[in-house]
Structure 1
Amino acid sequence: MSIEEKSRAIMVRQYQEVKKRQQSMLMRSAQELGLPEEMSHYWNPIQGKVDQASRTLYGSSHAGMS
């Protein structure tokens, strides 16, 4: 596997993780507020890129959980 393929795989994985985290947080919020479950399916990347605010909020942090 070349370096380009590895870096692409990492970027795709991070993109999917951010999307999954955002949608799970939206689902929890929708359930707490009594909104329809369809609200959690919101995903609006621009040209396939996650904006910096969403990446900061929903991206993985470097803090470990115990």
Structure 2
Amino acid sequence: MTTQDKARALMMQHYHQIKNRQQSMLERVVEEIGLPKEIADYWQPIQGKISPSVRISCDRSYASMS
């Protein structure tokens, strides 16, 4: 794998991790509130980009567990 391919693979993996975190959070909230489960299937990136607010709230944390 070239360096460019590795960078692209890491970027795609990060994108999917953020998407999965957002979906998990939406599913939990929908279940907690008691809304229909179809609402949790919401995922609408604009032109394939994750909005900055979602990236901040769903991105990995730099805090470590002790």
The two structures have a TM-score, normalised by structure 2, of: 0.92
Runs of at least 5 residues in structure 2 that lack an aligned partner in the other structure: none
- The percent of aligned pairs where both chains have the same amino acid is 47
Count, aligned residues: 66
* Paired letter, 1:28: R
Partner of 1:18: 18
Superposition pairs of residues 9-48 of structure 1, within 5 angstroms: 9-48=9-48
- State the 4+ residue runs in structure 1 displaced beyond 4 angstroms: none
TM-score by length of 1: 0.92
Residue 20 of structure 1: CA displacement?
0.4
CA RMSD of aligned residues (A): 1.0
Give unpaired runs (5+ residues) of structure 1: none
